Amino acid sequence: MLQLSPERLPLLITGIAGVTGFNALDYFHRRYPGQVVGIRQEKNWPLRGPHIATCDAEDPVGLARLFDQHQFRSVLNCEGNCALKSCELDSRMAWRTNVEGLVNLLAQVVEQGARLVHTSIDLVFSGETPDRQGYVENDPTDPVTVYGKTMVAAELLLADSISSACVLRISLPMGPSFNGHAGAIDWIQSRFAGGRPATLYYDEIRTPTYTDCLNRLFEEVLAGDLAGLYHAGGPEQMSLFEIAQVVNRAGGYDPKLLQGCPRIDAGPMPPRAGNVALDSSQLARAISREPFAPWPADPQLRPTNREWHFDRTGKPGSPERIAQRLYRNSRPTP
């Protein structure tokens, strides 16, 4: 496995309150102990540890101080407020977090000559294109949300600022969250575990990935010199409803708690994208391997119809099965 050379360490990871950054920090901290620092927003005080620093990305002075202290040689930028409704209601906040924070980070990256890998999102697309097999990198962006629009702005900023950076558009990262309800799996599971219904959409399509696979990809890209924009979505297209079906059945929860509807019935706030599946074949060619296992890796946990989660034959569901099969990749990638 490709490793980070001493010239690419120490490593800074931003956005560790999110699923992507939280799991990346755990992975890289175990791989390179004492050489990895994650930063969190000052207000997020429950997220702490010896390798976690408090620094708002929107604080240029604090960020400069942190770079002076650690002399980072690489940065994995997972920062971004992805709360769709919050971004719609406060576009200034979304811009400050998703764009201005990147401006401050870029100032330090350029000054230090550090390697930068930046995560963007599939929601830079609307998903309205019919008969889509998956968006490719040169498809025009047309986001329907403030969140998506700010992520497009961040991509453009990077393209204009630092040609050596690598931008990875990801989809839904599947792994645990630090607070137990921030990620897709955790939010759905928290509803079912509390006996509350969850309504998900038949026609919002994503390409989810295990964070295990993402972490290996991040390490490979940070260690190398891959530059430009690449799609980093999984090989299987799944609706949000199907994802909830998997969580419901794998966890052994009451199937009646899952409700589904087309996104047009969800109301106008926040706007919902359609089929934003990503075609990641360009990335696979660039690194000479398929980076992602399908989510879920277990074929028995892939829905076949809208009533599939009512079928309880086979291995019983449990929270432990979610942790074993949905948080972690049980099928090693090449």
Q: Is 23 strand, coil or helix?
A: helix
Model's pTM, two decimal places?
0.95
Out of 12-16, 51-55, 92-96, the most confident range is: 12-16
What average pLDDT does the segment 303-308 reach?
97
First to last CA, the chain: 10
pLDDT at 46: 79
Give which of 304, 200, 318 is closest to 249, Cα–Cα: 318
Give which of 285, 263, 280 is closest to 133, Cα–Cα: 280
pLDDT at 296: 96
Helices 101-112, 60-70: axis angle to 10 degrees equals 30
CA angle 102–288–292, rounded 5-degree value: 65
Concatenating the DSSP letter of every residue in 115-165 gives EEEEEEEGGGS---STT-S-B-TTSPP--SSHHHHHHHHHHHHHHHH-TT-
Number of Cβ atoms within 10 Å of the Cβ of 299? 8
Q: Is 60 strand, coil or helix?
A: helix
10 Å CB burial of residue 78 (0-12, 13-18, 19+) is buried
CA distance 281 to 291: 10
What average pLDDT does the segment 192-207 reach?
96
% of the chain beyond a pLDDT of 90: 80
State yes or no: pLDDT of 334 exceeds 60: no
Strands (E), 173-306: 173-174, 198-201, 205-206, 209-210, 228-232, 238-239, 258-261
CA angle 188–95–78, rounded 5-degree value: 55
pLDDT tens track for 110-143: 999 999 999 999 999 999 875 668 999 999 999 9
How far lies 13's CA from each of 24, 119, 223, 278, in Å? Answer: 8, 11, 14, 24
pLDDT tens track for 219-250: 999 999 999 999 999 999 999 999 999 999 99
Give the confidence band of 1 by pLDDT, cuts at 50, 70, 90.
low
pLDDT at 223: 97
Least-confidence region, from 23-27, 77-81, 235-239, 291-295: 77-81
Average pLDDT, the chain: 93
Give the confidence band of 69 by pLDDT, cuts at 50, 70, 90.
very high
What does CATH list as the number for 6-179+207-232?
3.40.50.720
Give the confidence band of 28 by pLDDT, cuts at 50, 70, 90.
very high
Handedness of CA 149, 153, 154, 155 (dihedral sign): positive
State yes or no: pLDDT of 333 exceeds 60: no
Helices 184-193, 240-251: axis angle to 10 degrees equals 50
What average pLDDT does the segment 30-37 reach?
97
Is the distance from CB of 123 to CB of 147 less than 8 angstroms? yes
